[in-house]
Structure 1
């Protein structure tokens, strides 16, 4: 597979970086932000974003290794691996990421709303939207893990 090296201009990259940074800051939980971005990247098969966010999650121990190892099977992992808040965020991540399967079910949104106030929930949805945009930009152009000129 050959990378399609059409470079994004600084305006697009800057806008998406700013959106992701603001959403992550508003969420207020760096570890959860990384879990959400990794899960969306797994679903979208984005090797570039997976590589980057796995490294960020491990940096400084923001996310436990057990969570990283079991993230693709989070529904089957025990409550000692993912708590109810993390599960609600991951379920919402999957629903927003897989919109082609239908709308985000009300019960999924309500489960997330039970764990996040309105502002943090809005930031969580914005973070999911941002990583999905990054995933699509990188996958469509086949940007490989670790690439620096994209």
Structure 2
């Protein structure tokens, strides 16, 4: 079955999502932003976003080892910084909300690692990549052939 090419039929949706993505990325280190995007995309099984953001992360200098173990970051020891660990925990909690949303423990860890402004941006980045993932999953957007 052929699915909707949503960005062609609704270009204003794409424009709005790009505006949200740009706003969410302010004041977040680009490397951390890519880790957030990749981790949510792993959970959501978004091949298009995984392809894009792993390439972007490598261009920014994120190492292969960090990318290789990102799905198991909590077990990866000191490969990830405390800020990265806090952002990844929050990203996972936002991506898989469950019955009780984001726990106080996860929120407190992130609140301790980031300023209020940065925390807002990390939350917005996790929310935004989840929106991209869900749009792409709904219409089965494949990664481009290279």
* TM-score computed with the length of structure 2 as normaliser: 0.92
Distance 1:95 1:33 in 2: 16
**How far is the alpha carbon of 1:3 from its aligned partner?**
5.0
Alignment of 1:1-150 (within 5 A): 4-8=3-7, 9-27=10-28, 29-61=29-61, 63-79=62-78, 81-146=79-144
Distance 2:30 2:23 in 1: 12
Distance 1:100 1:76 in 2: 22
Cα deviation digits, residues 110-130 of structure 1 (max 9, x gap): 100101000110011000010
Aligned length: 143
Classify the secondary structure of the residue corresponding to 1:99. Answer: coil
Return structure 1 stretches of 4+ with deviation > 4 angstroms: none
Q: Which gives a bigger RCO, structure 1 or 2 (Cα 8 Å, sep 6+)?
A: 1
* Structure 2 stretches lacking a partner, 5+ long: none
Structure with greater proportional helix content? 2
* TM-score computed with the length of structure 1 as normaliser: 0.90
CA RMSD across the alignment: 1.4
**How far is the alpha carbon of 1:51 from its aligned partner?**
0.4
Distance 2:142 2:14 in 1: 17
* Structure 1 stretches lacking a partner, 5+ long: none
Q: Is the 8 A contact 1:36 1:93 kept in 2?
A: yes
Q: Is the 8 A contact 2:86 2:113 kept in 1?
A: yes
